[in-house]
A and B are shown apart, each in its own frame.
Chain A
Amino acid sequence: MGLMSRIELLDDETAPIPVKQYFADGDPGPIVAALANVPEMVGPTLGFIGAALGAGSTGVRAKEFAILRTSALQQCQYCINAHTTVALDVGLSSDEVKALRGEVELADAFADEADLALIAWIDANAGATGPIADDVYDSARKHWDEHTLIELSITIGATLFLNRFATGFELPTSPEVFTRLAAEGLS
């Protein structure tokens, strides 16, 4: 793979038999290349991540709120880089991305009360410990269904796992992502 990380990133030659299919169409990215070292974990982990981070019933915009904001709170540079491009692709503005990354005030990027309530609830989940304050929860529930918050809590949990995985093992951001971030002025 040519990029440095703390662990060996497998490629199509070194990938174990049960996970070869993930490498059939080229480099599957460092998360799969790292997970492939424990092949029996690849399917269940990717299944969970795919469901947790995919659009689901919540939709991609709220999902990217959860993923990018959680990653920013956890200072996972790999995930911030990767999901900055995803967030742009699903329609978030550059200002919204910067706000979720903590680089500008949320109020300067988001005018919708529902968005702000959701981000406050994400912050209380992903960036804090202990119970969530009643006012934060009630505000989120005022705008969002219970099942949506349940699904987003799963997204946040999966993101926290990925944050630690990518940061702890120093997974490398791909050159393509760096190029895109530079072009968007979001390096």
Chain B
Amino acid sequence: MSAPTLDAPPITATGPIADAIRAGDMPGRIWVYSNYHCNLACGYCLTESSPKSKRREVDRDTMVEIARQGAELGFTGIGVTGGETFLLPWMPEAVRAMADHLPIVVLTNGTLFQGDRISKTDGMDHDNIALQISLDSHLPDVNDMARGEDNFRKVVECVPRLIERGVTVRIATTTEGDLDDPALDPLKEFVATLGVGPEDHLIRPIVRRGRADELNMGLVAGAKDIPSELTITADGAFWGSFGPTVSNGRLDTDLLLTRTILPLDIPANALLGALQGMPAGNDAALGIR
């Protein structure tokens, strides 16, 4: 789920949240689940997203306000995920508005930029904006088995076009195997041919939550194993982007922090309080990034 933060702005904010981020005691990035519905239905999806999923949208104005208040509190970046984020027609404009406040990474499956629809990314050739697109294998059949029919072709087609338009693109690969498995080497080489360097190719494990849990896939991870990035959804704020998972149609509440999402200092302070009571994590060892 995670992605490198773009060049983080200096933290000029004051207060306990800014102090904790400045000291490295609290991650500087906020995640927002803009929606839960998706045009794909990946087997390992944390949120059981699919075309039939309940949308559970965070509206456009709330998204921008989260970015604005996040910057005021001292956060240094924001990520937007779903669901498929670009199913929301207002997403391109919201991304540009959020980028006025914080560097933003938007996760997308990249399948909605075919043909003229690439114009959705107009104005995203911006230092503060990156798109993170999923690709799980250099083999079309293997990739499409996990991510859906024709996914490989659409991704491979759109990534060079986005780069050509000046958009920063990262590729994210989710794997059930070891993160340093030599079997991933051909994929790494393939991603480089798309114009995405190794520093922008993220490889992360499947986490056993959501649909992956039902299928007994992935790493078992508790709160201390999951990056504690403040994560906002229509259902509330959570400990980490792996928190607001859905299992058998039911929202998992074990990593819920607050139902209140704005003002942002309420969930941010709840996360800080929880962090202060949490032993050192194991997220780096598990490679959950």
* In the complex, B260 has a CB within 8 A of chain A: yes
- Indicate whether B252 reaches chain A with its CB closer than 8 angstroms: yes
Known contacts A17-B239, A17-B274; is A39 also within 8 Å of B257 by CB?
A: yes
Total interface residues on A, CB under 8 Å, equals 12
A87 at the interface (CB under 8 A from B): no
Interface residues of A (CB under 8 A from B): 10, 13-18, 36-40
- The yes or no answer to B258 lying at the interface (CB within 8 A) is yes
Interface residue range, chain B = 10 to 19
- Report the nearest A residue to B274, measured CB to CB: A17
B260 close to A15 (CB less than 8 A): no
B255 within 8 A of A: yes
Chain A residues positioned under 8 Å from B223 (CB to CB)? 17
* B118 beta carbon closer than 8 Å to chain A: no
Minimum C-beta distance from B283 to chain A (A): 15
B228 nearest CB neighbor, chain A only: A17
Whether A40 contacts B270 by the Cβ 8 Å rule is: yes
Q: Is the CB of B259 within 8 A of A40?
A: yes
Q: Are B255 and A16 in contact (CB under 8 A)?
A: yes
Does B253 count as interface, using CB distance less than 8 angstroms?
yes
Q: Which residue of A lies closest to B223 (CB)?
A: A17
In Å, the complex CA distance between A177 and B260 comes to 35
**Given A40-B266, A40-B270: A14 touches B259 (CB 8 Å cut-off):** no
B273 at the interface (CB under 8 A from A): yes
Q: Which of B221-261 contact A (CB under 8 A)?
A: 223, 239, 252-260
Q: Are the C-beta atoms of B254 and A17 separated by less than 8 Å?
A: yes
Which chain A positions have C-beta within 8 A of B254?
A: 13-17
21 A–B pairs (Cβ distance < 8 Å), ordered by A: A10-B253, A14-B252, A15-B253, A15-B254, A16-B255, A16-B256, A17-B239, A17-B254, A17-B255, A17-B274, A17-B278, A18-B273, A18-B274, A37-B259, A39-B256, A39-B258, A39-B259, A40-B257, A40-B259, A40-B266, A40-B270
Closest to B259 in A: A38
Complex-state Cα separation, A17 to B272, whole angstroms: 12
Residues of chain B within 8 A of A37, CB atoms compared: 253, 259
What are the residues of chain A within 8 A of B253 when measuring CB–CB? Answer: 10, 14-16, 36-37
Complex: chain B residue closest to A19, CB-CB: B256
Q: How far is the CA of A10 from the CA of B254 in the complex (A)?
A: 9
| B256 and chain A: residue at smallest CB distance | A16
Nearest to A40 among chain B residues (CB) is B258
Q: Which residues of A contact B239 (CB under 8 A)?
A: 17
* A37 to B274 Cα, complex, angstroms: 16
> How distant is the Cα of A18 from the Cα of B276 in the complex, in angstroms?
11
What residues on B are CB-neighbors of A38 within 8 Å?
Answer: 258-259
Contacts of B255 in A (CB 8 A): 16-17
CB distance from B238 to the nearest CB of A (A): 9
**Set of chain B residues within 8 Å of A16, measured between Cβ atoms:** 253-257
Interface string of B264-282 (1 = CB under 8 A from A): 0010001001100010000
A40 to B269, CA, bound (A): 10
Extra contacts, 5 of them, besides A15-B253, A16-B257, A17-B256 (Cβ < 8 A), are: A17-B255, A17-B274, A39-B258, A39-B259, A40-B258
Given contacts A10-B253, A13-B254, A37-B253, contact A18 B259 (CB under 8 A): no
Shortest beta-carbon contacts, A-B, top 5: A16-B256, A40-B258, A17-B274, A38-B259, A14-B253
B260 to chain A: which residues have CB within 8 Å?
40
A36: chain B residues at CB < 8 Å are 253
From A13, A17, A39, A40, name the one whose CB has the most chain B CB atoms within 10 angstroms.
A17
B27 to chain A, nearest CB (A): 15
What separation, in Å, do the CA atoms of A14 and B248 have in the docked complex?
14
Q: Whole-angstrom distance between the alpha carbons of A39 and B260 in the complex?
A: 9
Taking CB atoms, residues of chain A closer than 8 Å to B257 are 16-18, 39-40
Query: In the bound complex, what is the Cα–Cα distance between A36 and B257 (angstroms)?
Result: 10
CA distance A36 to B254 in the complex (A): 10
B252, B253, B259, B274: most-surrounded residue (chain A CB, <10 A): B253
CA distance A37 to B260 in the complex (A): 12
Closest-CB distance, A13 to chain B (whole angstroms): 7
Q: Which residue of B lies closest to A10 (CB)?
A: B253
Contacts of B266 on A, CB cut-off 8 Å?
40
Q: Report how far A119 CA is from B273 CA in the complex, Å.
A: 43
